[in-house]
Amino acid sequence: MYKQLKPYIKMKQLLPAFLILFTLTAGAQQHELKKLWETDTVVRTPESVLPDFKKKILYVSEIDGDGSTKDGKGGVAILGLNGKIINLDFVTGLNAPKGLGRFGNTIYIADLTDVVEADITTGKVIKKIPVPGSKFLNDITVDDKGTVYISDTRVNVVYKLQNGQVSVFLDNAKGANGLKAIGTDLYALVNPDLIKVDASGKRTTIATLPCGGDGLEPIGNGNWLATCWNGYIFYVTAAGKVETLLDIHGGKLNTADIGYDPQKHIVYVPTFNGNRVQAFEVVPSAK
């Protein structure tokens, strides 16, 4: 998910650590990205991609402006799995929508200080649920029982929405962003760390990224794809090893809340300021 960048560490402190990481991993790269397609620059500040493989489409949240402003310009678009634009105005009238989740026929949308429920067929907004105390709702995930989890990057918590009631699920979660519910566990990107929170609330750190994490997708066998908003995609193994698959930091393209096709090994990347969505196949490295 989109993250308002702040210098957590001075650059002169960050560079040596990053160079050490690069030195350790560069010679053992096992995966890389093969670009498949990208849209034209017509997707209005895309932040999150939610695939629907049964319908062969992608839902894409569109901020369409500043990521922290309540302006009513945001919405959700629909693209084909091949990048074809189907409907840029599927859901309208939102503010700065970011994370997307689904349960049954409902799309859940993290929209600054509200969780928005929209009909998955018509795009009509069903209800907006205010999240008391929230400032910057970011990612969203739904478990197999319909419980919704929402991160707030500025308040440093993860909220839980269950039976229409909102509560704090995880506190002291600095920079909380990417989320994924799997079974009874919640996986979260908390600043640079990928952590697992089990049903008892116990936290386990799986890996540490070289920058604050954003998007998060499981890819099988305990492995993950994770992004940093400013232009990185990482392959994270179950053992905690981090490989850099993409580094475009410093440019006009970002890497926000990705979607993933586990059958075809395709990652869908919303580029935020780039106003396009890109697709890459994750393949074994040829190096």
The string of pLDDT tens digits covering residues 166-182 is 999 999 999 999 999 99
Query: Quick check: is 5 in a domain?
Result: no
pLDDT digits (tens, 9 = 90+) for 47-62: 999 999 999 999 999 9
Tokens found for residue 140:
């969203």
Residues 96/65, Cβ–Cβ less than 8 Å:
yes
Q: Inform me whether the pLDDT recorded for 16 exceeds 80.
A: no
1 band by pLDDT with thresholds 50, 70 and 90: low
Long-range contacts of 124-128 (CB under 8 A, 24+ apart): 125/91, 125/93
Closest alpha carbon to 223 in 209, 234, 212, 215: 234
CA–CA dist 51, 6 (Å, integer): 30
Domain that holds residue 156: 11-284
Q: What is the pLDDT of residue 11?
A: 34
Reduce the DSSP state of residue 23 to 3 states and report it.
Answer: helix
Structural domains counted in the chain? 1
- Classify residue 21 by its DSSP letter: H
DSSP string, 142-210: E-TTS-EEEEETTTTEEEEEETTEEEEEE-S-TTEEEEEEETTEEEEEETTEEEEE-TT--EEEEEE-S
Residues 72 and 64: beta-carbon distance below 8 Å: no
Q: Minimal CA–CA distance to 279: which of 262, 265, 266?
A: 266
Has residue 192 been placed in a domain?
yes
- Domain assignment present for residue 6? The answer is no
pTM for this predicted structure: 0.91
d(CA 141, CA 101): 5
Cβ neighbour number for residue 18 with a 10 Å cutoff: 14
CA-CA-CA-CA torsion sign (136, 67, 98, 205): negative
Q: What is the reported pLDDT for 251?
A: 84
| Sign of the torsion angle spanned by Cα atoms 186, 188, 194, 200 | negative
For residue 62, what are the β-bridge partners?
46, 75
- pLDDT of 17: 42
Does some domain include residue 3?
no
Of the candidates 267, 273, 235, 268, which has an alpha carbon nearest to the alpha carbon of residue 254?
273
**Above 90 in pLDDT, residue 6?**
no
Residue 1 lies in a domain: no
Whether residue 4 lies inside any domain: the answer is: no
Structure tokens at 56: 């062969």
H-assigned helices in the chain: 11-26
Output the domain CATH number for residue 56. Answer: 2.120.10.30
The answer to whether residue 204 sits within a structural domain is yes
Q: Mean per-residue pLDDT for 87-110?
A: 98
* pLDDT over 80 at 12, yes or no: no
Is pLDDT of 25 > 60? no
Q: Please, which residues have CB within 8 angstroms of residue 93's CB and are 6 or more apart in sequence?
A: 72, 75, 125
Token pair belonging to 110: 């993290």
Judge whether 166 lies within some domain.
yes
